[in-house]
Amino acid sequence: MDKPQTMRSFVKLLVTDTPASVRFYEGLGFERIASGPPILRLQWGGESDMYLISSPAGLKLEGRKGLGVLVGFRAGEAGVDAVAQKALALGAPVEGPTVQPWYTREIIVTDPDGYRLNFIEPS
């Protein structure tokens, strides 16, 4: 019997300015896989899916987004330094790199909506 196809893990982010978010994520190196308002599917490194959901008209999200949450990705062949350079070129805040006790080197990039993205590589 064939194993049923299952969906891998994914993240959904509610964004306030979809075109700006798309420019940001594609500028970092995410690939656009599919789009159809109000949802746009991006992929990082051929394995990690992210869905950008356009905020409904009139909805205002106040305060810091994703407080206490980091959305994590393996940096891949380019490494965290290249991701950091791309993020800085896009005007995004970058924290790190830091070396963690669990043997990873990491950066945190904040997207246009304030979501914090954690890119890692082996240290």
Q: Which tokens hold the place of 47?
A: 């394995």
Does residue 5 lie in a domain region?
Answer: no
Does residue 3 lie in a domain region?
Answer: no
Confidence of residue 114 (pLDDT cuts 50, 70, 90): very high
Domain around 32: 10-57+66-122
Q: Is 38 helix (H, G, I), strand (E, B) or coil?
A: coil
Torsion angle (degrees, nearest 10) of CA 52, 58, 60, 66: -20
Confidence of residue 94 (pLDDT cuts 50, 70, 90): very high
Taking only the tens place, the pLDDT of each residue in 26-80 is 999 999 999 888 999 999 998 899 999 998 887 777 777 788 899 999 999 889 9
Q: Once rounded to an integer, what is the mean pLDDT over residues 95-104?
A: 97
Q: Which tokens hold the place of 112?
A: 């246009």
Question: Is 49:11 a contact under the CB 8 Å cutoff?
Answer: yes
Report the number of distinct structural domains present in the chain: 1
